[in-house]
Amino acid sequence: MPLSPAPPRSEPAPYEQVSIDELGSPLAEVTFVVVDLETTGGSPKDSAITEIGAVKVRGGAVLGEFQTLVDPGREIPPYISVLTGITSSMVAAAPRIGTVLPSFLEFARGAVLVAHNAPFDLGFLKAACAENGLLWPVAASVDTAVLARRLLTRDEVPNCKLATLAPHFSATTSPTHRALDDARATVDVLHGLFERLGPLGITSLEELTGLTRQVDPERRRKRHLADAVPRGPGVYLFRGPRDEPLYVGTSSDLRSRVRSYFTAGEQRSRITEMVALAQRVEAISCAHDLEAAVRELRLIAEHKPRYNRRSRFPERALWVRLTEEPFPRLSVVRRVRPGAGVFLGPFPDRSAADAAVAAVHESLPLRQCTTRLSPRVPASACALADMGRCGAPCTGAQSVSEYAAIAAVLRAAVEGDPRALVAPLLERVDRLAAEERYEDAAVLRDRVAVLVRAVRRRQRLESLATVTELVMARPDGDAGWHLSVVRRGRLVAAGGAPRGTSVRGTLARLLTTAETPLGPDGELAASVDETELVLRWMEKPGSRLVELDGVLASPAPGTGAYNAFLHRVETGRTERDPFADGRSLGTRARPERLAAGQGGPARRAPIASPA
């Protein structure tokens, strides 16, 4: 029987280009749950949820809504009630968050979570799940604030707040700081942003979530700038076309840190622009993290790189000076000169210095006129004398010794005992509060806090700046030691004694090569920032004081008695405005503006508000 012919061999199918829809989840088929929360404050550590609102959408259609008030288990602060309209009485009969969460998680099951400033809302929800023993589902999330930042320009909207974006996209619901209203407004914003994705070729969920992680090709091409950067702690300088320093930074691992500038992890706008200009990276290896931090401060102060914001102008720090005159007065100055009077500070800006001056004048009847007075030449009194706020030394009504006793209170406060200066101020704060003059009491209280912080900072700086020499050691994590030599608050030598080497031998070499700091005109040898860096390094657990030439001690009684007061002031400021954030949510047209078919870097949107 003849064999039947073999079936013809089929030709291999030609390669086919699959569509984007086949590579990912089409946006039109993805279920989104847009959620918004109202809370009693700005952090899940000390605040709780008062309302949850959510809207489930898919393909542009609303599938369902979820809304409930939540009993936070505490009183709702009045300023929150004013902001949201939710009062303690409204939530008295509402369920607790442990009862609400299972229902919400079931409503959102399998969906992509969407929120405006998602870290805020999702952070509260995750914390609530952890507190109630519930598992937080692993799900993708979308932040409409980040999307707006990537897709809109400043010409279109001045910022990316929900209250700005909702009318821009003609939202049918206006944000009202109520959870469901804000969630509905966010849905319209989300759909408006989706309309901007089509020209960019973004049609899948994977492309959407990766939008903020795109790396500009130009940035990627500059990765070779990190090739010669060594490992270990140190300082790096990005240099521009004329070899000028553009940016100075520090890291415990130079190579890893510099490489991160050429990835999607770095999304700050000014850094993106800086990397575009950079032509090379210079790396300076250091013995340990303190030396790296100090070198960074000095390089920033010396070169003032245009892309460094922190500590670019340390010479702009302000001090309050009690002048050396027969009748001393307070003045705000920029330089500390030994023998030129008593100095308090430093202060970061003029408003802080003025607040401290106002607090001192509230406590002490120091003269506020700027003329130079002579005890032998009387002059006419000003209005402050009639108000009892000045002893009128200009008229001869107050002798030099009588006035000196008043000025001595401020001197004693700066040197170590602020009680006589601060106690009358705190009594006045209590008196104003008892009289229900709460705004006046708050203003004075904040001034007192500025004054106490300045006294504390000055005493801490002075305690180290007066020490001729000290040697510190910290474990290096491998049975060795990091060594630092400090003179008058300035780091003058740094090194390391690895495991198995002589610490004393290494230290002898460091002391031999250490510099001798000489400040101009007898000023402090180190900058304020550098001395504070040394103090923080010295106060870390595990630090050892190896040698000391001088006295290292905090003055007594100091400001320790006011720790609770300062804590209350700081806590009160946060509670008064927990959502305050000066960082802009504005968009940028360059360098990350998107054009059709192009990607670009982005940065994470800072949390400015839960709505």
Inform me whether the pLDDT recorded for 492 exceeds 50.
yes
Same domain? 207 vs 70: yes
Confidence category of residue 318, pLDDT binned at 50, 70, 90: confident
Show which of 269, 292, 312 is a domain's final residue.
312
Q: What is the mean pLDDT of residues 421-450?
A: 90
- The range of the structural domain enclosing residue 235 comes to 217-312
Of 254, 281, 312, which residue constitutes the final position of a domain? Answer: 312
Query: What CATH number has the domain bearing residue 278?
Result: 3.40.1440.10
With 0-12 CB in 10 A as exposed, 13-18 as middle and 19+ as buried, what is 96?
middle
Mean pLDDT confidence for 429-448: 89
Residue (of 288, 310, 296) closest to 238 by Cα position? 296
Choose, from 116, 168, 177, 567, the residue flagged as catalytic: 177
Write the CA distances from 577 to 74, 268, 567, 572, 609, integer angstroms. 18, 26, 16, 9, 11
Whether 569 contacts 445, CB under 8 Å: yes
Could you tell me if residue 164 is inside a domain? yes
pLDDT over 50 (residue 524): no
The predicted pLDDT at position 392 comes to 72
**Are 473 and 490 part of one and the same domain?**
yes
Q: Chain-wide mean pLDDT for the chain?
A: 81
Number of domains the chain contains: 4
Per-residue model confidence as pLDDT tens digits over 112-134:
999 999 999 999 999 999 999 99
pLDDT value at position 313?
Answer: 63
What is the arrangement of strands in the sheet containing 318-322, beginning at the earlier edge strand? 330-333, 318-322, 342-347
DSSP per-residue letters across 48-86: -EEEEEEEEEETTEEEEEEEEE-B-SSPPPHHHHHHH--
- Element (H or E) spanning 481, and its range? strand 481-487
Banded model confidence at residue 302, pLDDT cuts 50, 70, 90 = confident
Q: List, as one string, the DSSP characters of 365-397.
A: ------SPPBTTB-----HHHHTTSS--GGGTS
Domain co-membership, 368 together with 424: yes
Looking at the structure, do residues 34 and 102 belong to the same domain, yes or no? yes
573 inside domain: no
Does residue 562 sit within a domain? Answer: no
Structural domain contains residue 606: no
User: What is the average pLDDT across 187-214?
Assistant: 80
Same domain, 406 and 534: no
Quick: pLDDT tens for 42-58: 889 889 999 999 999 99
Over pLDDT 90: what percentage of the chain? 33
Q: What number of other Cβ atoms are within 10 A of residue 318's Cβ?
A: 19
Helix (H, G, I), strand (E, B) or coil at 240: coil
The residue among 457, 481, 510 that closes a domain is 457
What is the distance between the alpha carbons of residues 109 and 93, in angstroms, rounded to a whole number? 27
Task: Give per-residue pLDDT as tens, 364-409.
Answer: 888 888 777 776 666 666 767 767 677 777 777 778 888 888 888 9
Provide mean pLDDT across the span 432-451.
Answer: 89
Whether 191 is catalytic is no
What stretches of 248-382 show up as alpha helix (H) in DSSP?
A: 254-260, 269-277, 289-303, 350-363
Comparison of pLDDT for 590 and 527, the residue scoring more: 527
Chain segment 543-585, per-residue pLDDT in tens = 988 888 888 888 888 888 888 888 888 876 655 554 444 444 4
Tell me if 409 is assigned to some domain. yes
> Is 244 within a domain?
yes
Does residue 590 sit within a domain? Answer: no
Quick one: which of 428, 415, 411 has its CA closest to 362? 428
Both 324 and 262 in one domain: the answer is no
Same domain, 222 and 289: yes
Tokens encoding 441: 């009491």
Residues 206 and 223 in one domain: no
In a domain, 331, yes or no: yes
* 129 and 138 Cβ atoms separated by less than 8 Å: no
Q: Beta strands 61-69 and 49-58: pairing type?
A: antiparallel
User: What is the predicted pLDDT for the residue at 216?
Assistant: 66
Task: Round to whole Å and give the CA distance between 163 and 587.
Answer: 15
Does the model's pTM come out above 0.85?
no
| Rounded distance between C-alpha atoms, residue 566 and residue 578, angstroms | 17
Residues above pLDDT 70, as percent of the chain = 82
- Per-residue pLDDT for 415 more than 70? yes
Rounded to an integer, what distance in angstroms lies between the CA atom of residue 429 and that of residue 184? 45
- pLDDT tens digits for range 68-109: 999 999 999 999 999 999 999 999 999 999 999 999 999 999
Shared-domain flag, residues 294 and 204: no
Closest CA to 530 of 298, 335, 303: 298
One domain, residues 268 and 369: no
The CA distances from residue 88 to 51, 83, 95, 464, in Å, are 12, 13, 13, 50
Average pLDDT on 466-489 reads 89
For residue 266, the model assigns a pLDDT of 63
Residue 197 shares a structural domain with residue 236: no
**Is there a single domain that holds both residue 257 and residue 195?**
no
